[in-house]
A and B are shown apart, each in its own frame.
Chain A
Amino acid sequence: MNTKNTLTAERRRKNILSVVLAAICIIYVLPVLTVVINSFKQNTYVKIETFALPTAESSAGFQNFITGMTFGNYPFWKSVAYSALITIVSTVLILLCTSMAAWYIARVNSKFCKIVYYLCVFSMVVPFQMVMYTLSKTADTLKLNTPWTIPIVYLGFGAGLAIFMFVGFVKSIPLEIEEAASIDGCGPIRTFFSVVFPMLRPTMISVGILEIMWVWNDYLLPYLVLDINEYRTIPIHIQYLKGSYGTVDLGATMALILLSIIPVIIFYLSCQKYIIKGVAAGAVKG
């Protein structure tokens, strides 16, 4: 009798919890949902019935997407290409450089390494807005203002978090595996690429996802650094939807925002299980 009661109580508690959590989830996805709904509505209806589902009357079909992509005199595919280029190059650069640096920092026990490590960690707490003016000046002088060179700026900004996460993980890898590699015939470079690099995979994926989401969605840095007439990334392109005529085509804006977050969502979902693994791997030793 008694146990039955507690079981029912337990079940009730769980149900309540589910409802609460579901409500929180809805609050979280609501903005995204709003974007999705409105991207299929005509511009006028976006403003008056923001949260209503598209009806036969208000629906714009795929017109918003077409408008968004053909808007203005800057081809949409170009901004997609630039966004992809910058994101991919930056992420690869960050992963490669910071994993190597982190391995060195974690394994070589010197003052220099400690200083570099704390500098990297410190860089995480410096907000972008604090350095953006001098940074864009410097980027201009150093010719880091093209989509091919801006990844170097991203490397600088992404390095802090990446090194922090990689160092944590490398420290949890037993040193003996690397010693075994050095006895088996590896030099340091070989040891890194054949043995350490594959073991870093879970952290690679979580760092990779964080960096990809950040770079892909970043608006301020490319806006300040790149020559806007020449190179536009997707976020910049979207903001130009409103600039020119004074009026804003909200439907088209929503449509482009939806397009721009789809790749990130797909990528996130396909790597989701590694994210959790990677975060846990850094946190718990062993």
Chain B
Amino acid sequence: MAEVNLKHVVKIYPHSGKKKKSEHRTGNLKVTDQGVVAVEDFNLDIKDREFIVLVGPSGCGKSTTLRMVAGLEEISEGEILIDGKVVNDVAPKDRDIAMVFQSYALYPHMTVRDNIAFPLKLKKVPKDEIDRKVNEAAEILGITEYLDRKPKALSGGQRQRVAIGRAIVREPKVLLMDEPLSNLDAKLRNQMRAEIIKLRQRIDTTFMYVTHDQTEAMTLGDRIVIMKDGVVQQIGTPQEVFDDPANLFVAGFIGVPQMNFFDAKLVKEENGYIVSLGGVTIPVDEAKSKKLAENGVESKDITLGVRPEHIALMGEGKEMLHGTVEVGEMMGSSVHLHVTSLGQDVIIIAQTIDFKGTHMESFHTGQEIAYTFGGNVMHIFDKETGNSLTR
């Protein structure tokens, strides 16, 4: 129900006196005189009712960013606006937001009903309206039968539903979720993920969702913010970040199995570009060539990225790359082949059934195979900076 704007938001955790040694532990985070920079110059305009996912490896500042929006963490620099109003100095309770914590954070001494009703009671909502809203939320989340239990008597998934219930009853402007599913087992996680998608269609609110799981990010987000070491790497729709990753980090982070990277050479020719790799040349497709030309890229060493699912094991009349199968992981409809080729490990996804329904040949360790890929699926990154050259 509201827009959220983050303008040049910075979070610096001050050095805690004698703990100068801990600078070492914080790895790649920038350290200044003032302290450890956990979030660096974060800019994001979230539209009304948008579902934004913050994703990145552990310690990259996702939670910190979310907690700054919630008001649980002070903002060191920059501004956060909710509905056009600067909220830097507004207390959490006055921001009209709700939050779901990874550890659920239910009130252990209250029944589920009281837990869900608590924010409404504090808002002095009339009793019958509270009852109606609590029942409605319980209905949506399928926890009606547990309303009179204490949280202790619930399973993890049920507790998480209660936490979500407590967040949605008050119809907040922004719903913040910090890794809400990471305490659940894989099956329940998939189920709850689907329920969050459903929930999102039923309630009108802006979502900010933190996860370290790229699958969750891809399936839930309208837009994804990928972070690393406190720095935003790329902001875009799931399709955009998948098709057109801004740099090597994003390319490697989004997509399972991970994208393959090769050392290759980009050569500029009269009418386009070609990539040469392991003695094989592959022409870059027209759209990408155009981008390269626009960016004024000359012939140079590049890092070439190709997704495992884009590698083909047959190519009519093409020059092929060669490799030896190390391991074949059977996934059912496909096999993930770990192939040694060009002196490195290459992952290839091979279908087990072709489009006519006939079973493909099986793979065994030590088998020699040939593979190739098209110019349209190549991702071209600058070897020094790691940034994409086709953006």
Whether a CB of chain B sits under 8 angstroms from the CB of A12 is no
Q: Mark B244-283, 1 if CB is under 8 A from A, else 0.
A: 0000000000000000000000000000000000000000
Nearest-CB residue, chain A, relative to B16: A109
Of the listed stretches A185-193, A220-228, A270-278, chain B binds A185-193
Is the Cβ of B92 less than 8 Å from the Cβ of A183?
yes
Is the Cβ of A183 less than 8 Å from the Cβ of B97?
yes
Whether a CB of chain B sits under 8 angstroms from the CB of A31 is no
Q: Mark A174-214, 1 if CB is under 8 A from B, else 0.
A: 10110111111111001000110011010000000000000
Instruction: For B101, give its contact among A179, A186, A190, A201 (CB under 8 Å).
Output: A179
Q: What are 18 pairs between A and B in contact, CB < 8 Å?
A: A174-B103, A176-B105, A177-B108, A179-B72, A179-B92, A179-B101, A180-B166, A183-B70, A183-B72, A183-B92, A184-B119, A184-B122, A184-B170, A185-B119, A187-B93, A190-B122, A194-B118, A199-B108
Is the Cβ of B109 less than 8 Å from the Cβ of A199?
yes
Whether a CB of chain A sits under 8 angstroms from the CB of B107 is yes
Is the Cβ of A180 less than 8 Å from the Cβ of B93?
no
- Bound form: Cα–Cα A252–B99 in Å: 65
With contacts A179-B72, A180-B99 known, is A185 near B123, CB below 8 A? yes
Whether a CB of chain A sits under 8 angstroms from the CB of B346 is no
What chain A residues lie within 8 Å of B72 (beta carbons)? Answer: 179, 182-183
Interface size of B by CB at 8 A reads 22
With contacts A179-B101, A190-B122 known, is A184 near B108, CB below 8 A? no
Is the Cβ of A174 less than 8 Å from the Cβ of B119?
no
Instruction: For B93, give its contact among A174, A184, A194, A201 (CB under 8 Å).
Output: A184
Is the Cβ of B99 less than 8 Å from the Cβ of A183?
yes
Is the Cβ of A176 less than 8 Å from the Cβ of B101?
yes
What chain B residues lie within 8 Å of A185 (beta carbons)? Answer: 93, 119, 122-123
What chain A residues lie within 8 Å of B93 (beta carbons)? Answer: 182-187
- Bound form: Cα–Cα A176–B70 in Å: 12
What chain A residues lie within 8 Å of B71 (beta carbons)? Answer: 183
Nearest-CB residue, chain A, relative to B109: A198
What chain B residues lie within 8 Å of A198 (beta carbons)? Answer: 107, 109
Which residues in B have some Cβ–Cβ distance to A below 8 Å? 70-72, 91-93, 97-99, 101, 103, 105-109, 118-119, 122-123, 166, 170
Q: How far is the CB of A283 from chain B (nearest CB, A)?
A: 19
Interface size of A by CB at 8 A reads 18
Is the Cβ of B107 less than 8 Å from the Cβ of A195?
yes
A183-B97, A185-B123 known; 10 other A-B pairs, CB under 8 Å?
A174-B103, A179-B101, A179-B105, A180-B101, A182-B92, A183-B71, A187-B93, A198-B107, A199-B107, A201-B109
Q: How far is the CB of B266 from chain A (nearest CB, A)?
A: 50
- Bound form: Cα–Cα A201–B170 in Å: 29
Interface centre among B70, B97, B119 (most CB of A within 10 A): B119
Is the Cβ of A184 less than 8 Å from the Cβ of B101?
no
Is the Cβ of B109 less than 8 Å from the Cβ of A184?
no
- Bound form: Cα–Cα A256–B235 in Å: 80
Q: Mark A63-81, 1 if CB is under 8 A from B, else 0.
A: 0000000000000000000
Q: How far is the CB of B324 from chain A (nearest CB, A)?
A: 51
- Bound form: Cα–Cα A186–B122 in Å: 7
Q: How far is the CB of B165 from chain A (nearest CB, A)?
A: 12
What chain B residues lie within 8 Å of A182 (beta carbons)? Answer: 72, 91-93
Q: How far is the CB of B119 from chain A (nearest CB, A)?
A: 4
Interface centre among B72, B105, B122 (most CB of A within 10 A): B105
Q: Mark A122-165, 1 if CB is under 8 A from B, else 0.
A: 00000000000000000000000000000000000000000000
Q: How far is the CB of B293 from chain A (nearest CB, A)?
A: 51
Is the Cβ of A180 less than 8 Å from the Cβ of B123?
no
Is the Cβ of B122 less than 8 Å from the Cβ of A174?
no
A-B pairs, top 10 by smallest CB distance, nearest first, are A185-B122, A176-B105, A184-B119, A198-B109, A180-B105, A185-B93, A183-B92, A176-B101, A182-B92, A177-B105
Nearest-CB residue, chain A, relative to B176: A183
- Bound form: Cα–Cα A194–B93 in Å: 15
Is the Cβ of A176 less than 8 Å from the Cβ of B92?
no
What chain B residues lie within 8 Å of A184 (beta carbons)? Answer: 93, 98, 118-119, 122, 166, 170
Q: How far is the CB of B224 from chain A (nearest CB, A)?
A: 24
- Bound form: Cα–Cα A184–B97 in Å: 8
Is the Cβ of B122 less than 8 Å from the Cβ of A176?
no
Nearest-CB residue, chain A, relative to B99: A183
With contacts A180-B99, A182-B72, A183-B99 known, is A174 near B105, CB below 8 A? yes
Nearest-CB residue, chain B, relative to A201: B109
- Bound form: Cα–Cα A61–B98 in Å: 69
Q: How far is the CB of B106 from chain A (nearest CB, A)?
A: 8
Nearest-CB residue, chain B, relative to A185: B122
What chain B residues lie within 8 Å of A194 (beta carbons)? Answer: 118
Q: How far is the CB of A206 from chain B (nearest CB, A)?
A: 17
- Bound form: Cα–Cα A195–B93 in Å: 15
What chain A residues lie within 8 Å of B118 (beta carbons)? Answer: 184, 194
Interface centre among A176, A184, A195 (most CB of B within 10 A): A184
Q: How far is the CB of B191 from chain A (nearest CB, A)?
A: 24
- Bound form: Cα–Cα A199–B108 in Å: 7
What chain B residues lie within 8 Å of A183 (beta carbons)? Answer: 70-72, 92-93, 97-99
- Bound form: Cα–Cα A2–B108 in Å: 49
- Bound form: Cα–Cα A179–B108 in Å: 14
Nearest-CB residue, chain A, relative to B118: A184
- Bound form: Cα–Cα A199–B105 in Å: 13
What chain A residues lie within 8 Å of B91 (beta carbons)? Answer: 182, 187
Q: How far is the CB of A110 from chain B (nearest CB, A)?
A: 12
- Bound form: Cα–Cα A53–B108 in Å: 51
Q: How far is the CB of B249 from chain A (nearest CB, A)?
A: 30
- Bound form: Cα–Cα A174–B151 in Å: 15
Nearest-CB residue, chain A, relative to B98: A183
What chain B residues lie within 8 Å of A190 (beta carbons)? Answer: 122
